[in-house]
Homo-oligomer: A and B are copies of this chain.
Amino acid sequence: MSELTKFFKLLSDETRLRILLLLKSQRLCVCELCGIMNESQPKVSKHLAKLRDLGIIDDERHEQFIFYSLKTNNKLYLRILDDILDSINDYPIVKEDIEKSENAERFIKIS
């Protein structure tokens, strides 16, 4: 029960909710998330740390990048995120985020 309320606390911040909805479709690194959402790096990193601490996401380093991905073990959490995506037309900012994420690589400087 306390794990579930902690999950909802994570969803209660707009930045974190946007991150989770982005990670629902693909893994992304910090600088891609910053670019897509137009948010500062420390802010994004801090929220990612909270998501990682509760075991909602995984991280994996590839060279200088650290890629984050959504863990798929908790079906309830996945279902809730899917419910939100089913109402995506009510949340234009999420729609824009996902559109931008379709060529996320452009937010990596050297590429």
A contact residues vs B (CB 8 Å cutoff): 1-2, 4-6, 8-9, 11-14, 17, 76, 79-80, 83-84, 86-87, 90-91, 93-94
Contact = CB atoms under 8 A, between A and B. Distances in A.
B76 A83 contact: yes
Contact of A4 (B17, B79, B86): B17
B76 A4 contact: no
A83 B91 contact: no
B1 A91 contact: yes
A5 B1 contact: no
A8 B80 CA distance: 11
Contacts of A2: 14
Contact of A12 (B5, B17, B86, B94): B5
